[in-house]
A and B are shown apart, each in its own frame.
Chain A
């Protein structure tokens, strides 16, 4: 399913404020999860068996998939030995994808601390993108890359070191880093949507 945003945000924002004045107070947005208690056992490696497809029915234009990362997500034992939730996305199998953006949605109270890497068909790590290469675009923090022929999956996982605040001096998150949040991948196909 292709998602296309039509922001009537300025009007919607004002109307939301008006509506809120008459309704009960809206729930505050969730704050960051600073610990992670996965319900599934964590594997030492990514399982691609349940990878989410990035192939829309009509592989044109752009195609977004947003996936919550929470206690019931697949999890792996990350580089610092801590459990990290992740989402594996299977690269498009049709159309001409020219670029892919992957990372985390910036939510008002928190954001998944994203680590993004790609896998080959046999599950080997092809590339790992440093967070220094990620950029604030739209509502997200993402790395934009051109998929290589040998890459079959792009994985977005929580970065435990970043949540713990050990990610390195000078990093100012757009929203407090969290183990739980929303991962996403967006494919840009060469051909415009019909």
Chain B
């Protein structure tokens, strides 16, 4: 079956590239942390200026991002050893697969040439979307290098991968993006640490009977069926507005995910109160209320 060949070939490519550069460091474990500014009231963030690094990729490897996890690096690419996966953590593996995809550089070149011809500015799309989404959550935003105002906290976003990827369950190519996010106080304390993934899920979420485990950590933003393409030809030679719309969606959804993680000032503020002043309808527990 064609899809099996592709998967095996891609895994082999990923494995060969990964092992070539691997170190013996142990996999990097990062607990996921919900946003908790503590006593501080955060009204503005200073965001790094290099969130959108590198060019778009077109990955010819079907991927189900259900398992992307900051907290368990050695799980994304089949065939890659945990040690190799440990280079840069889970998300380093994604970079590795992007490198492997880069071996098929003709395909990546086509995508990037197309985007260049369309005047697509990924950085502008992302930062404009981030400003709008953070604004909707009540936060102002500076970007490194602009303006002199000091922000209340720092936001480090790293979009490790964006572009188009073969979606799981043979449904074609879909836009994709993966980003690491960390929020830090002005004192350098980590206020939030998480991952956002924008990906198509495929028609049936899980092929393993009985479902599977809890899966990964990453906040998953869905991709609608209307943003699918049959193949790379359709992306670069089909309706250009549609192709651009799809990649714009991936970057905007990433921004929406980042803002979502900062929602409401954090989980501490959002959760409802104690038993004494509990919300109407909260289950009663124990004896006296």
Bound complex: CA A68 to CA B7 (Å): 33
- B33: contacting residue among A12, A29, A98, CB under 8 A: A98
Minimum distance in angstroms from A31 CB to a CB of chain B:
14
Residues of A within 8 A of B8 (CB): 11
* CB <8 Å contact, A11 and B211: no
* CB <8 Å contact, B260 and A146: no
- Considering residues B26, B204, B284, which has the most beta carbons from chain A within 10 angstroms of its beta carbon? B284
Closest to B280 in A: A79
* CB <8 Å contact, A138 and B217: yes
* CB <8 Å contact, B267 and A145: yes
Bound complex: CA A46 to CA B282 (Å): 12
* CB <8 Å contact, A14 and B3: yes
Residues of A within 8 A of B72 (CB): 4-5, 61-62
Task: Say yes or no for B246: interface residue by CB 8 A criterion.
Answer: no
Residues facing B in A99-150 (CB within 8 A) are: 99, 101, 105-108, 117, 119-120, 122-130, 132-133, 135-140, 143-146
Q: With A10-B64, A79-B282, A136-B220 known to touch, is A61 a contact of B207 (CB < 8 Å)?
A: no
Residues of A within 8 A of B283 (CB): 45-46, 76, 78-79, 117, 125, 157
Residues of A within 8 A of B33 (CB): 98-99, 146, 188
Residues of B within 8 A of A41 (CB): none
Task: Say yes or no for A16: interface residue by CB 8 A criterion.
Answer: yes
Task: Say yes or no for B74: interface residue by CB 8 A criterion.
Answer: yes
Which 4 A-B pairs rank lowest in CB-CB distance, beginning with the nearest?
Answer: A138-B215, A79-B281, A192-B29, A139-B215
Task: Say yes or no for A164: interface residue by CB 8 A criterion.
Answer: no
Closest to B278 in A: A125
Bound complex: CA A61 to CA B29 (Å): 7
Q: Quick one: CB contact mask for B26-51 with A, threshold 8 Å, 1 for yes?
A: 11110111101000000000000000
Residues facing A in B162-203 (CB within 8 A) are: 168-169
Residues of A within 8 A of B22 (CB): none
Q: With A5-B75, A11-B4, A108-B206 known to touch, is A137 a contact of B270 (CB < 8 Å)?
A: no
Residues of B within 8 A of A129 (CB): 267, 270-272
Bound complex: CA A80 to CA B27 (Å): 47
Q: With A14-B3, A79-B283 known to touch, is A137 a contact of B215 (CB < 8 Å)?
A: yes
Minimum distance in angstroms from A29 CB to a CB of chain B:
8
Task: Say yes or no for B88: interface residue by CB 8 A criterion.
Answer: no
Task: Say yes or no for B274: interface residue by CB 8 A criterion.
Answer: yes
Bound complex: CA A138 to CA B64 (Å): 10
Residues of B within 8 A of A182 (CB): 211
Residues facing A in B261-283 (CB within 8 A) are: 263-264, 267-268, 270-275, 278-283
* CB <8 Å contact, B217 and A137: yes
* CB <8 Å contact, A133 and B217: no
Minimum distance in angstroms from A98 CB to a CB of chain B:
5
Q: Quick one: CB contact mask for A2-18 with B, threshold 8 Å, 1 for yes?
A: 01111111111111111
Bound complex: CA A175 to CA B278 (Å): 30
Task: Say yes or no for B1: interface residue by CB 8 A criterion.
Answer: yes
Bound complex: CA A9 to CA B61 (Å): 12
Minimum distance in angstroms from A134 CB to a CB of chain B:
10
Bound complex: CA A14 to CA B6 (Å): 11
* CB <8 Å contact, B207 and A12: yes
Minimum distance in angstroms from A76 CB to a CB of chain B:
6
- B278: contacting residue among A13, A128, A135, A157, CB under 8 A: A128
Bound complex: CA A17 to CA B273 (Å): 49
Q: With A11-B8, A14-B1, A137-B216 known to touch, is A105 a contact of B211 (CB < 8 Å)?
A: yes
Residues of A within 8 A of B219 (CB): 135-137
* CB <8 Å contact, B274 and A140: no
Closest to B63 in A: A10
Residues of A within 8 A of B64 (CB): 7, 9-10, 13
Residues of B within 8 A of A144 (CB): 32, 34, 267
Q: Quick one: CB contact mask for B44-72 with A, threshold 8 Å, 1 for yes?
A: 00000000000000000111101101011
* CB <8 Å contact, A124 and B285: yes
* CB <8 Å contact, A135 and B260: yes
* CB <8 Å contact, A124 and B274: yes
- B78: contacting residue among A10, A17, A26, A117, CB under 8 A: A10
